[in-house]
Chains A and B, each alone.
Chain A
C-alpha cells in the first residue's frame, strides 16, 4: 500500500443509487476497488452493481466492516452524510461540488474531533494505481510507480498523469485535494503522507491561483520534506478578482497570484514547470 488507500481498503459508497453514485460504483469495481456496501436512505434492500444497499451507514457497517466512505450525495445533503460516515469512524472522500463553505467548516471540525480524515469536497478522489480507486478519475491513464501526485484540479491532473504514464513514470498514489477554498486534506497534509511513504520517491504538486496553500506548502517542504518535489501552477494569466471556475481559484488584491506561488517554490529549490509537459523533464 502506498498512501492512505490500497488493495485491502474496504469502501462504502454513500449516495450509491444516484446517477453519479451508481455510474462511478461500476467504474470503481471494474478498477478493483473493494466496495463492500452502499448507503441511500429509504433504499435498503436494493443492490447496485451487485453491491448491497443499506439505509444507514451504521446498518451497512454492522454487516460489512469498512475503512473509507466515498460520498456522491447532492450538496444540500452532504453535511448530514459526512457527519454520518465520520461519526461511524470512517475516513471520508467528498466528491460533491458546490458545497456551502460553512458546511465544509463544520465537517472538518467534526472530523478533527473524531480524528478522521476528510478528502475534498469538490475533488476527483484518491487512487493508488493498480490497487484501488476511490474517485471519479479515468483509471486507465494511471500506472503503478514511485511518484506521488497532489493536485487541486481534476482534468489538469489527468492531463499530466497521462503524459507521465506515456513516458513510463508511474505513480505511487494520486490525491485530488479539491478546488474549493477549504478542503479537508490540503497540500501540507498530503505532503506529510508522501514524505513518510517508502514507495514514494518524488512528488508532483499541481497548484493554482488563489489562497496561500502553495506558499505554506513551500515552507513545509523546506522544513519537513527531503524528497524531490516539482510543481506546476495554473492561472499565471488569470485576471484579478475573477473566480476561475473553482471556488478557490481567485486572486484577491495581491494575494493568491501564480507569481507569488512560483517564487515561493523556486526560492527553496523546487522547480516549477512553465508548461504542463515540462513536468516530465523535471522528474527522475
Chain B
C-alpha cells in the first residue's frame, strides 16, 4: 500500500531525514495559529492524494501566507485523477540550490533492492531511464553488508549528479537512513523525488513510501490506510480472501488463480467482450466463497457472468454447489456461462445439471458463448 506524502515525511523526520516544517489539515478553518510556526513570505500547499503528477494537475500551489486559507479550501474536496482530496499539507518553501532524485526500489531480476540516483529531481524516473540512461546511476544493495560500498559510490557519483564533493558524505548518510526505513517499515519503495540541496543541507521535498501488503501484520498502524484505498466491493471481497479488482466492462468474471483469471480477461477481450472485474476465488475455494463471489459480481449489475475454473486443489463440486446455492437463493437475471474442468468435474457437472445449468470444457468456447448471450440481451 502507498503512504501519503505527509505520512512518509513523518517517517523521514522520525528517522533523521530532514524535511521542511509543515502541518496537515483536512479543513481550511482548522489552520488557525498553526501557520505561525512556519516562516517565509510564501508557503507551499500540497494535496495529499495517492497519485503521481499532482503538480501538473493543479494539486500543488505556491502562495503568499495570506492566501493559504483560500488555497486550502480550493483544494479540499476537489478530485485529482479520480482521487478526492481529503487532506492538504502546508509547508515552508525551501531556497533550492540543486535537486536530485534518489530511491531504493525492488529489483526483480537482481533479486535485491536497487539504489537509483539521478542528476535531476522532480522527474518521471521511468521516462528519464528510457530516454537518458546516462543521467542515472543504479547500484544493487544486497543483504546486511549491502551498504558497505555506499560512501565510495557516493564519492564516485558526485560529479555525475552535479554536486560539490562535500555533499557525498551527507548523501551517503541519507541513503543509509532510507535503507533502514525500508527494512524497518517493510517498504518496497522509498523514494525522495526531489531531494533538494538547500543552504542548510539536504531536505526531502517529497516522500513516497510503498509498504508491502504482505507485511502489514507487522505494522498494524498502516492497516486502516489499506482499507481506504479499496472500493466497497474490494473491501467485502478481502474479508473472504477473494481477490477482486473493479474494471470498466460489463461481463463479470470469476476464476481460480491470478494467471488464469488474467488470461480469461484476455480471451474474453479477444472475442469482443469487456470484463467488469477481475475475481480470483483463490486455491481450494469453499462453497461459501463461490457463493460470495457471485454476490460480489452481481453488485455491479453485469450483462453476463463468465465462470472459468480449472480444478486442481479447487474442487469443481464445491464450485458447482456454490453456484446452485446462490441461484436457489437469488435469481440470476443475466446469462451465465460456466467452464469447469479438473478435480471432481463429473460431480460438479451433475450438480449444475440438476438446476438446468450446463458447463463447457473449453475456456475459449465459453468466452464466445458469454459474448453472444450477453450481446443478444
Chain A residues with Cβ below 8 Å from B247 are: 239
* Interface residue? A83 (CB, 8 A): no
* Interface residue? B121 (CB, 8 A): no
- Count of chain A to chain B residue pairs whose CB atoms are closer than 8 Å in the complex: 166
Q: Encode contact with B along A143-162: 1 for CB under 8 Å, 0 otherwise.
A: 00000000111111111001
* Interface residue? B108 (CB, 8 A): yes
| Distance (whole angstroms) from the CB of B355 to the closest CB of chain A | 25
* Interface residue? B261 (CB, 8 A): yes
Chain A residues with Cβ below 8 Å from B255 are: 155
Whether B270 and A216, one on each chain, are in contact in the complex, defined by CB atoms closer than 8 angstroms, is no
* Interface residue? B341 (CB, 8 A): yes
* Interface residue? B173 (CB, 8 A): no
| Distance (whole angstroms) from the CB of B162 to the closest CB of chain A | 25
* Interface residue? A248 (CB, 8 A): yes
* Interface residue? B88 (CB, 8 A): no
* Interface residue? B288 (CB, 8 A): no
* Interface residue? B363 (CB, 8 A): yes
Whether B312 and A238, one on each chain, are in contact in the complex, defined by CB atoms closer than 8 angstroms, is no
Partner of B341 from A162, A184, A247 at Cβ < 8 Å? A162
Chain A residues with Cβ below 8 Å from B278 are: 238, 242, 244-245
* Interface residue? A237 (CB, 8 A): yes
| Distance (whole angstroms) from the CB of A254 to the closest CB of chain B | 6
Describe A's contact surface by its main secondary structure. loop
Whether B108 and A248, one on each chain, are in contact in the complex, defined by CB atoms closer than 8 angstroms, is yes
Say whether, besides A243-B245, A275-B364, A182 and B259 are in contact (CB < 8 Å).
no
Whether A242 and B245, one on each chain, are in contact in the complex, defined by CB atoms closer than 8 angstroms, is yes
Which chain A residue lies CB-closest to B312? A138
Whether A253 and B262, one on each chain, are in contact in the complex, defined by CB atoms closer than 8 angstroms, is no
Binds B, one of A37-45, A54-62, A85-93, A203-211: A203-211
Which chain B residue lies CB-closest to A219? B109
Which chain B residue lies CB-closest to A124? B312
* Interface residue? B29 (CB, 8 A): no
Binds A, one of B12-20, B38-46, B59-67, B209-217: B209-217
Whether B215 and A246, one on each chain, are in contact in the complex, defined by CB atoms closer than 8 angstroms, is no
Q: Encode contact with B along A244-268: 1 for CB under 8 Å, 0 otherwise.
A: 1111110001110000000000000
Which chain B residue lies CB-closest to A104? B111
Q: How many angstroms between the C-alpha atoms of A19 and B362 in the bound complex?
A: 32
* Interface residue? B26 (CB, 8 A): no
| Distance (whole angstroms) from the CB of B363 to the closest CB of chain A | 7
Whether A153 and B259, one on each chain, are in contact in the complex, defined by CB atoms closer than 8 angstroms, is yes
Q: How many angstroms between the C-alpha atoms of A208 and B280 in the bound complex?
A: 15
Whether A235 and B266, one on each chain, are in contact in the complex, defined by CB atoms closer than 8 angstroms, is yes
Q: How many angstroms between the C-alpha atoms of A182 and B188 in the bound complex?
A: 11
| Distance (whole angstroms) from the CB of B266 to the closest CB of chain A | 5
Whether B109 and A156, one on each chain, are in contact in the complex, defined by CB atoms closer than 8 angstroms, is no
Which chain B residue lies CB-closest to A101? B212
Q: How many angstroms between the C-alpha atoms of A212 and B260 in the bound complex?
A: 20
Q: How many angstroms between the C-alpha atoms of A276 and B126 in the bound complex?
A: 31
Q: How many angstroms between the C-alpha atoms of A216 and B143 in the bound complex?
A: 23
Whether A209 and B262, one on each chain, are in contact in the complex, defined by CB atoms closer than 8 angstroms, is yes
* Interface residue? A277 (CB, 8 A): yes
Which chain B residue lies CB-closest to A102? B186
Chain A residues with Cβ below 8 Å from B280 are: 245
Q: How many angstroms between the C-alpha atoms of A274 and B262 in the bound complex?
A: 13
Partner of B243 from A153, A209, A245, A254 at Cβ < 8 Å? A245
Chain B residues with Cβ below 8 Å from A101 are: 106, 186, 188, 212, 214-215
Whether A182 and B108, one on each chain, are in contact in the complex, defined by CB atoms closer than 8 angstroms, is yes
Which chain A residue lies CB-closest to B341? A162
Which chain A residue lies CB-closest to B244? A245
* Interface residue? B310 (CB, 8 A): yes
Report B311-333 residues with CB < 8 Å from chain A CB: 311-314
Q: How many angstroms between the C-alpha atoms of A186 and B108 in the bound complex?
A: 9
Which chain A residue lies CB-closest to B362? A277
Whether A216 and B109, one on each chain, are in contact in the complex, defined by CB atoms closer than 8 angstroms, is yes
Chain B residues with Cβ below 8 Å from A158 are: 310, 312, 342
Partner of A106 from B106, B143, B275, B362 at Cβ < 8 Å? B143
Say whether, besides A75-B214, A245-B243, A253-B124, A105 and B111 are in contact (CB < 8 Å).
yes
* Interface residue? B167 (CB, 8 A): no
Which chain A residue lies CB-closest to B243? A245
Q: How many angstroms between the C-alpha atoms of A76 and B124 in the bound complex?
A: 36
* Interface residue? A222 (CB, 8 A): no
Closest 5 CB pairs of A and B: A153-B259, A245-B258, A155-B257, A156-B259, A100-B215
User: Can you spell out 26 A-B residue pairs with CB atoms less than 8 angstroms apart?
Assistant: A76-B217, A99-B214, A101-B106, A102-B212, A106-B143, A136-B312, A153-B257, A155-B256, A158-B342, A159-B310, A162-B341, A186-B109, A206-B259, A208-B258, A234-B263, A236-B269, A243-B245, A245-B257, A245-B258, A245-B259, A245-B280, A253-B52, A253-B124, A275-B270, A276-B363, A277-B364
